[in-house]
């Protein structure tokens, strides 16, 4: 029996993790959960999975949840805040932590899990973008596995196997809802940006997919996960989302992992690794899928992709600054405070003002992250005030 913690259990990935646990027969048990504020969903999850520990961010919600657990006779311990999130990550009987907290907020519980010797199923790409060197170094020192949950990185992980003779990693991108569109990006609404053609995801990652920022973040994540230079990572647009990524080896062989677009498959692989078992994912019918297309990305139409790759090239604290500014800009767009095409402008402005620190420690990264968020918000307020 494999005991797991699910950090971010009420989000899109977290709910799909629990759906996998609910339906597979490979012996996975939920021992701890964390959520931000959706107390009704948390109550339903506690009733179904009976975890030993739950953390909910808001203190008032935690008090209500604790009273409710006692009234039901559940022995679930309830915590709140950053300390509660870390407690969920290091729960004693847990062997695998699913890190699905959105954004840089997932960094500290991720590091806590690693320090506690827990293997990690990583769905939080922002933690690796901001502090990938620190995360992977600590994982190596503690001897823990970092198992990717993103479909692209799971594909790469499966294709690489034990080989080290990698010539190139080819990351595929759906292109989001606007790859084929001729419309002006300034007129894109929130509903437009959230209408992803192939994947059902949370709002933040869906907007990142629409700007192609997500693919830049994933390139940085791949750089850290697989210890390959950024110059060995190529990005191609693949609208069908059937080929989840490819690896080219030194002998010229190219291996791809293919399946219907369903996040439950890479989630399940991370939960059951190194074993495989049956799943609910629809089988791939290549004849029905028809053609598989691949195109080079348009950096002019999607400036966020170039911005992310530029941050990676600069290194130091710049990726953390880029990531923080992007999170702030995306949230402002979702709140309808700025237009869609303003997102890259905010990020670029914050990055242009940042003084990069080379070889940063965790404190440096967290400080750069916070300053970038503050500066991004100042820029957003100035722009939104002119609308």
Residue 332 lies in a domain: yes
Q: What pLDDT was estimated at residue 198?
A: 87
Claim to verify: residue 135 and residue 6 sit in the same structural domain: yes
Q: Smallest Cα–Cα separation from 311: which of 380, 194, 204, 230?
A: 230
Would residue 275 count as lying in a domain?
no
Residue 162 lies in a domain: yes
Asked, for residue 28, whether it belongs to a domain, the answer is yes
Could you tell me which residues come within 8 angstroms of residue 136 by beta carbon, excluding any fewer than 6 positions away?
128, 146, 224, 225, 227
Mean residue pLDDT across the chain: 95
Q: In what order do the strands lie in the sheet with 2-7?
A: 77-80, 53-56, 28-35, 2-7, 96-99, 119-122, 146-148
Backbone angle region of 77, left / alpha / beta, with phi > 0 → left and psi within -120 to 50 → alpha? beta
- Pair 24, 92 in one domain: yes
Residue 350 confidence (pLDDT): 98
- The answer for residues whose C-beta is within 8 angstroms of residue 166's C-beta and 6 or more apart is 160, 226, 228, 232, 247, 248, 249, 250
Angle between helices 39-49 and 12-23 (to 10 degrees): 20
- Do 144 and 156 belong together in one domain? no
Same domain flag for 202 and 306? yes
Sign of the alpha-carbon torsion through 65, 66, 68, 74: positive
pLDDT of residue 182: 80
Structure tokens at 166: 């990698």
Position 197 scores a pLDDT of 87
Query: What's the CA gap between 148 and 139, in Å, rounded?
Result: 13
Q: What pLDDT is recorded for position 387?
A: 58
Verify that 94 and 23 share a domain, yes or no: yes
Percent of the chain at pLDDT > 70 equals 99
Distances (CA, A) of 304 to 208, 240, 265: 9, 22, 28
- When pLDDT is averaged across residues 234-245 and rounded to a whole number, the result is 97
Q: Are residues 199 and 116 in the same domain?
A: no
- What's the whole-number mean pLDDT along residues 71-92? 96
Q: In 151-253, which residue ranges form alpha helices assigned H by DSSP?
A: 151-160, 190-193, 203-211, 213-225
| Same domain (yes/no): 230, 329 | no
Least confident of 124-133, 210-219, 324-333, 374-383: 124-133
Give the pLDDT band of residue 158 (cuts 50, 70, 90): very high
Whether residue 381 lies inside any domain: the answer is yes
Q: What is the pLDDT of residue 163?
A: 87
220-230 pLDDT, tens per residue?
Answer: 999 999 999 99
* Residue numbers of the domain that contains 384: 315-387
Last residue of a domain, one of 149, 178, 208: 149
User: At 337, is the secondary structure helix, strand, or coil?
Assistant: coil
Q: Check whether residue 250 and residue 374 sit in a common domain.
A: no
Tell whether 222 and 255 lie within a shared domain.
yes
Closest residue by Cα to residue 8 from 202, 281, 220, 195: 202
383 alpha-carbon distance from chain centroid: 28
Indicate if the pLDDT at residue 261 is higher than 90: yes
Q: In the chain, helix, strand, coil percent, each to 5?
A: 50, 15, 35
pLDDT at 201: 86
Q: Which pLDDT score, from 0 to 100, does residue 64 have?
A: 96
Are 114 and 172 in the same domain?
no
Q: Which residue, 96, 106, 95, is CA-closest to 55?
A: 106
Q: Identify whether 274 is preceded by a cis peptide bond (ω within 30 of 0).
A: yes
Q: Does residue 276 belong to any structural domain of this protein?
A: no
Find the CATH number of the domain harbouring 56.
3.40.50.720
The answer on 135 and 196 residing in a single domain is no
Looking at the predicted structure, is the pLDDT value of residue 62 above 80?
A: yes
Average pLDDT over residues 282-298: 95
Q: What is the CATH number of the domain that holds 346?
A: 1.10.1740.10
Residue 281 within any structural domain of the chain: no
Are residues 164 and 61 located together in one domain of the fold? no
pLDDT at 386 (0 to 100)? 64
For residue 329, tell me if it sits in a domain. Answer: yes
Tokens at residue 137, please? 């170094």
Total domain count for the chain?
A: 3
């Amino acid at each position: 029996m494999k005991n797991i913690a699910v950090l971010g259990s009420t989000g899109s990935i977290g709910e799909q993790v629990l759906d996998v646990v609910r339906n597979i027969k490979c012996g996975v048990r939920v021992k701890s959960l964390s959520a931000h504020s959706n107390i009704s969903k948390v109550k339903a999850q506690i009733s179904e999975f009976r975890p030993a520990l739950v953390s909910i961010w808001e203190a008032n919600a935690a008090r209500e949840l604790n009273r409710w657990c006692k009234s039901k006779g559940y022995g679930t311990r309830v915590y709140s805040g950053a300390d509660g999130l870390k407690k969920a990550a290091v729960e004693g009987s847990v062997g695998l932590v699913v890190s699905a907290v959105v954004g840089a907020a997932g960094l500290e519980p991720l590091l806590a899990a690693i320090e506690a010797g827990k293997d990690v199923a990583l769905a939080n790409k922002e933690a690796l973008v901001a502090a990938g060197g620190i995360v992977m170094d600590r994982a190596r020192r503690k001897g823990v596995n970092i198992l990717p949950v993103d479909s692209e990185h799971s594909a790469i992980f499966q294709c690489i196997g034990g080989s080290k003779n990698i010539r190139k990693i080819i990351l595929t991108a759906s292109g989001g809802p606007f790859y084929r569109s001729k419309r002006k990006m300034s007129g894109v609404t929130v509903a437009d940006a959230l209408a992803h053609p192939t994947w059902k995801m949370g709002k933040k990652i869906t907007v990142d997919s629409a700007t192609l920022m997500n693919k830049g973040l994933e390139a940085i994540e791949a750089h850290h996960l697989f210890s390959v230079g950024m110059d060995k990572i190529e990005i191609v647009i693949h609208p069908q989302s059937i080929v989840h990524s490819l690896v080219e080896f030194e002998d010229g062989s190219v291996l791809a992992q293919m399946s219907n677009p369903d996040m439950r498959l890479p989630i399940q692989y991370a939960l059951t690794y190194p074993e495989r078992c049956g799943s609910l994912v629809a089988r791939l019918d290549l004849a029905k899928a028809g053609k598989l297309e691949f195109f080079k990305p348009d950096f002019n139409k999607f400036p966020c992709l170039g911005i992310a790759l530029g941050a990676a090239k600069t290194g130091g604290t710049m990726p953390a600054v880029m990531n923080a500014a992007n999170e702030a800009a995306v949230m402002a767009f979702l709140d309808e405070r700025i237009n869609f095409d303003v997102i890259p402008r905010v990020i670029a402005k914050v990055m242009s003002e940042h003084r990069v620190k080379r070889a940063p420690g965790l404190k440096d990264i967290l400080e750069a992250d916070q300053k970038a968020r503050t500066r991004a918000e100042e820029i957003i307020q100035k722009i939104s005030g002119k609308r």
